[in-house]
Structure 1
């Protein structure tokens, strides 16, 4: 069987009824169990490679959910109220429709329905996982049911991230790429994440040759971008903003202009020593709260746009494609490019506490206030 590490990072799947329980495989059944990042039976790959070709009736791209430990994919049940099933999965084989699922639009707080590709009215349901039936418990079976607005039908698929790395002895074999694919000229540059105002919990990533959004995960090198500003003095847009290239850390590729409005941006190999206008972008002035447009250097009227990432189309979801579009004042067109901080409280809350303790200790021992990043280091001790 083909290696599964190229399917990407592992995810956990949990429902709103009890976020402390995750979907797992046990005795050839799909059930819920207390969340444990060390348990690879709770690790799922989200294979989105068929999403460009196969979509549900709402136009949402399909996915396969593959268990890391068993190499099995979740299969449709026999019908309403029946448990979902498992089937051996080889990513190199032609995919069976019975393994394909889609996510609905946001049903509140980032949760979504997970439903059959060919029947979006049957959703993942933690059977008898409602308050009336005693809530979620260890061993609650995952079945399919019609939507009835239950918390046991509202799901999130989120990266295990650093928890997974810690739980597997610090290995990163489950990631889709290793580090070191940046050109030597950029290898020492700080990496950035790129996110939009429509949902700041999603970052731009490189996936299967496409540029899309995914749940933010600082351990995923495909979400790390270098902002190469070295040609900014030579090339500016018509408003005289300096140009830059956005180069992916994992692939070494740069984001290239699309073929026109509504078309997806592309990825191309990046030559750090050659000026290529087709990979050059600029940022607009601040359009509110620090967000800016990202637009072509030679046509500032076409901007980064998270396609159908507005409220009218179901908001941002995993796999939302980045295209170019004329400015229409959408939150899905408003972007920030910010460093992936090594100790970012947003993703590592404990770091904020540790930094505070270090600052207090430094203050008492050395007599000055500590620092939290390179720019705030004291000149001398």
Structure 2
């Protein structure tokens, strides 16, 4: 289809809402669009050839989500098939359930700008899809339970910002407080000496010790 765009050089501010996409009807008596009708810009007149609907293209691949809208599951290396979830207002591990949106997290870079940690890794918030709340740390790193806090894309509290370490093997990373990379997301006592991680293990922040309960993998949530 040939696309034609018209530009009016005069001041359009007064009439800018009076322009609409139109298709050029060569046969005005029939007023029917056909294969080959040109797409133009025209003054709004309320006719059917100026009304449009956007519909998904069947069989086409879904467009890649915007960076701030990508959805992930957060898996712990210490637990077999355990995901970070929200349960009764607390942040814990749970058996992976692909239908449970409480296990769905958005890694949001909205309004984090050029904020990085001391190693240059970009800051982000981890926002729960089901509750709209974000993981929060206070940065003490002393068995402190991770909390949930309201998240607004218009302004971001530093206590909601995290970064990822470099790859620690097999796609696992440390998830660190942006203002102290030595304080990390931790599945409490989720190591073999304490019986390992399990469904219901609370999530805390704790000083980095390279344990499997401090290594996380973000996988697309389907």
TM-score range, shorter chain: 0.5 to 0.7
Structure 1 or 2, whichever has the larger Rg, is 2
1:25 maps onto 2:112 in alignment: no
Work out whether 1:81 is the aligned partner of 2:132.
no
- Alignment correspondent of 1:327: none
Q: Which has the higher helix share?
A: 1
Taking the aligned partners of 2:111 and 2:174, their CA distance within structure 1 comes to 19
Task: Report the counterpart of residue 16 of structure 1 in structure 2.
Answer: 77
**Matched residue, 2:217:** 156
1:121-154 CA distance string (max 9 Å, x none):
0011100110111111111011111111110001
| 2:159 equivalent in structure 1 | 98
Question: 1:55 aligned to 2:116?
Answer: yes
Q: Tell me: CA distance 1:77–1:127, structure 2 relative to 1, closer, same or farther (3 Å).
A: farther
SS of aligned partner of 1:57: coil
Residue 144, structure 1, aligned to residue 208, structure 2: no
Q: Is the 8 A contact 1:77 1:83 kept in 2?
A: no
Alignment TM-score, normalising by the size of structure 2: 0.67
Any idea what the Cα deviations from partners look like across 1:73-119, whole Å, max 9, x if unmatched?
0000462211111001122x211111000001111222110000001
1:19 Cα offset (Å): 3.8
Aligned partners of 1:100, 1:57: CA distance in 2, in Å?
13
SS at match of 1:145: strand
Gaps of 5+ in 2: 1-64
Deviation track 1:24-74 (CA, whole Å, cap 9, x = no partner) reads: 011111100000010000000010234542000011100000000000000
TM-score (norm 1): 0.40
Contact 1:51 1:63 in 2 (8 A): yes
- Picking from 171, 186, 191, the partner of 1:110 is 171
* Aligned Cα root-mean-square deviation (Å): 1.6
Contact 1:77 1:143 in 2 (8 A): no
- Which one scores higher on RCO, CA 8 angstroms, separation ≥ 6? 2
Instruction: Say if 1:149 and 1:78 are closer, same or farther in 2 by CA, change over 3 A.
Output: closer
Distance 1:149 1:10 in 2: 26
The alpha carbon displacement at 1:9 in A equals: 2.7
Which sections of structure 1, spanning at least 5 residues, go unmatched?
Answer: 165-381
- Write out the 4+ residue segments of structure 1 that deviate beyond 4 Å after TM superposition: none
Q: Say whether 1:43 aligns with 2:104.
A: yes
Give me the whole-angstrom Cα distance separating, in 2, the residues matched to 1:74 and 1:19. 22
